[in-house]
Structures are given as structure tokens and as C-alpha cells.
Structure 1
Amino acid sequence: MLDMAQPPVLPLLRLLQAADSAFPVGGFAYSHGLETLVATGAVASEDGLADILRRYVQQPLRRQVLPAARAAHAAPSPPRLLAVDGAFDRSLTLPGERTASRAMGRRMLDLAPEIDPQFADHPYRRAVRNGEAPGHYPVALAALCRSFAIPAPETLAAVGIRALDALVSAATRLGVIGPSAGARLVAGAAPALAAAIDEVLAEPVRLRFGSWFPVLEIAAARHPALPFRMFAT
């Protein structure tokens, strides 16, 4: 329950800070396969990136990331939250993606007490720090949002827009687009993201996640073989 002794806007301020791209969880180190697509010429323009974002919303976000965040936010107990984290871990087929999500989630949990000191004793945070759970980013952010009394729709919106921002930021650093194009792309993808969030909220909470986006998955798998790399994955 929301502590009414606190200013009503405080949970929103905490959400905005936690989901901001400037919050140092290390997402800048990962391109999630985009660097390979740029290096091979498969993505070379704003239009090409718009198509990637469209399919990213339809598959990884709609089928995998958002349902996991929804299940984490709805988890009635710490064991259930750990089950969500484990199920999401098993749904990631690429080691690089699994490593990136874990690294960002664990960093989020490490820094969460800087936003809210009470989160330092959260059972999920303790489990991840003790090596009892992988600590994936969408699960960690959803758990944090629940502790802030942020409703599920806003939580999924934060998870989704953060994922889109990460891809657009990578494309900007790779020189495919500029900041203005990045803003257009995220705004253009927002209606599809909103529809995906509505669909996830309307369906039963589940612990089976998976998506089908072979273009990005193959690109991510080929990333370690690039002769020059800007990103960790």
C-alpha cells in the first residue's frame, strides 16, 4: 500500500529515476544484436531501425519481456517472484542476452536502496545478492516498482520504453541515426507498445515466456565474431 504520509508524487519520482537511461545500470554496454546488423549493412537508416523496433515490440517485448515484468509485479510472495525470474532466465537462449539482462538487473538491485533505503531488505534483492536468483532486469525493475506502489500499467510502460530507448541509444552511438530521429522512432513505436501493454494486462499472468525474432537473435549470436566492437554484446 502507498504510504499516504509520503507526498503522493513520490512514487512517480522514484519510477522516473529508476527507469531513466541515466540511471547507471550499465545498459549502454549492450546493443542486443544491433551492432551486428549495422556492421553488416542490414540496418543503415531510420526506416530500417523503425522496422526493427516494430518487430521488437511485437515479439521480445510482447511475448517475453512485458509478460515477465507483469508476472513479477503480480507475484504474491518472494518464492513466486523467484520463480518468475527463473522462468525468464530459461527463456533467454543467447548467453550474451542472458548475461546483459542479469548484469543490468543486479546493478539495479544494488542501486535501489539509493532511491528507497527500505528496499535494502527486500527478499528478492537478498536472494539475488546471495546467488539464489539470476536477477534479470525486467523482473528487478518490476519488483522495485511494486515496492514503490507503482501500478502495473505504469510499470510495464517503464520497462517497455526503457527497452526501446536502449536500442535507439545504441543506434545513435553506432551512427545510424541522430538524436532527433531517435525521438521520432520511440514516439512512433509508442502506440504499438501501448497496445502490447494492454494485451499483456488483459491476459492471465503466466510463467512461460518466449519470442521469435531470428534476425536480431542471429545478429546477437554473431556479435562476438565482429572484427571491431563498440559494445559488450
Structure 2
Amino acid sequence: MLTLELALRATEVLLALAFLQQSAEHIFGSRDSRQLFVWRAIMSIGLLPGHYSEWILLALSAHSLLILNRYQGPYNGGSDRMGLLVLYCLCLSRWLPEGLPSEAAFGYLGLQVIVSYFVSGQVKIVNRDWRTGQALQDVFSFSAYPVAESLRALAKRPHLLWMASWMVMLFEVLFPLSFLNSTTLMLALAVAISFHVANACLFGLNRFVWFWIAAYPSLIWLQARLVAGV
């Protein structure tokens, strides 16, 4: 069984890597926000060894408020929101008393991941364009995402995109069922990672990979904790 401490440590390392990737984009790219993200990178490197994690997480949480103020919210949408959710839940879990309070803070992260997949699928499945495959056709035909020209030809394969649409929707809507046992959960997470990696390769949504993977230890721990508590 994955212990809470091991799950927290794994999440800290994965979150630090996610923040480092995000920070690199600003340090070597946008000049106006370079200094803000240099400090995030420094603190993220400090989080990797696991010493004084609670203080570094608290500093990262305080620093995140400066970034939120700079961009008037999570400027990159879902991936930044997930990163902040992971950060705040980690920080709370480290600072709250051991036992149920600390477990509840970390377990909340796992529950939010489950809900986020389900809600994403539910929103898609009630949308006619997603049910017919038109949404994916539009993505490959007109999207501003950096889709390779060779991949744009997929827009002319409606049957394939219809199947892909339903695979995505059914996976997301049925994701909560992966908690039935550890085997189904690990399979579901393998599919989820493949999905996020594919999005990174096809559309350049690279931040989603690390930020979402950083939340997966909470799912593995929560499933084992719930089974052990029954």
C-alpha cells in the first residue's frame, strides 16, 4: 500500500518538475515575467530533495499569489488551475495535524481529479458537435493549435474522429469506475497519461502532462486508503 508520506513525496517531486518546465518557458521566453518565474524555479529545485518541504510549499503558495495577481488569474487555464490545486492541497496536507486532517487535504486532491475527468466528459457528451465528431473535425481543420499539416488531413476522416470522440467521452465519464480496484485504476491512469501525451504531441498542450501526472499519486493513495478503511 502506498503510504501517505510516499504519496506526498512523489507528488512534491512531480509538481516541482511541472513548475520547472513552466518556469523555463518564461525564463527563456517572456522577459516581462522572467524574475517571477526565476524564483518559482529556485523554490521548485529546493523542493526536489525533500528537506523543509512544508516551508518551501508555503513559500510557493505565497509566491503563486503574486503570479495570479500579475496575470489576473490562472493565465493558462486548466493546467495552471490543476497546478495550483496540487500545490495548495500539498501545502495543507503538510501543515495540518497528522491523521484525518492531513489525509482529508490530500484526499480532496484525488476527489477533484475524479470530478474533473467526469465533468469534462459530461460537458462533451451533451454537446452535439462532440457526439457527431464535428468538434474534433473543427480542431484539425481550423484550430490555432500547432497541428502538423499532415495531421490536418484527419479532418477528412469523420468516422475515425467520431470513434475518437466517443472514446474520449466514455473514458472521462466512466473514469470514476476505475476506483473499483487498484488494477482498473492503474489501467485508467495509463490511458489518461497516453491521452495527455497525445494532446501534447498533437496540440502543444505540454503543461497538462506534468501537472496532471503530479496529481495521480493522490488517486493511487486515496483508492488504497478507501479500500483499507472499508
Could you tell me the TM-score, scaled by structure 2's length? Answer: 0.30
Could you say which structure has the greater relative contact order, defined with CA pairs below 8 angstroms and 6 or more residues apart?
A: 1
Could you tell me the TM-score, scaled by structure 1's length? Answer: 0.29
Higher helix share: 2
Larger Rg: 2
